[in-house]
Amino acid sequence: LIYSTWWVGDNLSSLMQSVGASEKVFQLMDLLPSDQFISKGKKSSRLQRLVGHVEFVNVSFHYATRPTVPVLQSISLSVKPNEVVAIVGLSGSGKSTLVNLLLRLYEPTNGQILIDGFPLQELDVKWWRERIGFVGQEPKLFRMDISSNISYGCTRDIRQEDVEWAAKQAYAHDFILALPNGYHTLVDDDLLSGGQKQRIAIARAILRDPTILILDEATSALDAESEHNVKGVLRAVRSDKTMRRTVIVIAHRLSTIQAADRIVVMDAGRIVETGSHRELVVDDGLYARLTRRQADAVA
């Protein structure tokens, strides 16, 4: 599933004003029958301090529209606070669906997701989404200048130097300075490449200082620059203490995520392998096969 959005609380209408976004947003809404949106206020707990431990406990899921097709089957996965986990697997293996459940676009059919040991479905949705930074494959920007695009949706007071710090972490600072009016350049349809848009969206996510950062890497067909984008974020998370947080990356190019703490390999809705890049190469299973296949494709 390729969709992309960035949650401004539950404010879908502001998404619709984004540059070139309306069609995609309608597609997204078409994909999500209205009863799949979890109503606000159904459960409204907030955790006093969120550490960022994400746990899938025996989670199974099928989309309501296709009840006979199991999409996730008995997924158990614990992502520790500040851990960088990459999720890989063939198209259709269930990677985006796993993230959809974490974003609470859908509820598990069976099993549950725990956040710091607390059931996700009991948490206030808006509160929860404010703590997640999500960068999708085709991020949407707004008809405002670059600085406002980066600070958009931030609830605290933001100084220009905060915006520039986030842009540096997202490897966006240099190309922004090269624009006609730097950070004050107005964003329109043709201003930025796909990879640059993704960097602005990453800066936006980072500025909100989310406890959990979720990146859906653009596929190579969409943009060759995104490999560098994801690698850059992983480097920043490693090297800058202020960037430490739980990171979940859906990776389409395996070369991007070799430095992840853990790689989770999915196949037909199940987790079939987990380990570091080295461990999985030694194991010589699906991950090793996929890596060889991609290396051949590039060569």
Residues that bind ligand ATP (CB under 6 A): 1-2, 31, 63, 65-66, 71, 89, 91-97
Q: Which is nearer to ligand ATP, 93 or 229 (CB)?
A: 93
Q: Which is nearer to ligand ATP, 70 or 210 (CB)?
A: 70
Q: Which is nearer to ligand ATP, 70 or 153 (CB)?
A: 70
- Provide the minimum distance between the beta carbon of 208 and ligand ATP in the complex, in angstroms, as a whole number: 24
- Provide the minimum distance between the beta carbon of 93 and ligand ATP in the complex, in angstroms, as a whole number: 4
The answer to whether the beta carbons of residues 207 and 158 sit under 8 Å apart is: yes
- Provide the minimum distance between the beta carbon of 239 and ligand ATP in the complex, in angstroms, as a whole number: 29
- Of the CA atoms within 13 Å of residue 79, those in its CB half-sphere come to 31
- Provide the minimum distance between the beta carbon of 1 and ligand ATP in the complex, in angstroms, as a whole number: 3
CA distance 176 to 10: 29
Q: Which is nearer to ligand ATP, 138 or 164 (CB)?
A: 138
- Provide the minimum distance between the beta carbon of 87 and ligand ATP in the complex, in angstroms, as a whole number: 8
Q: Which is nearer to ligand ATP, 1 or 29 (CB)?
A: 1
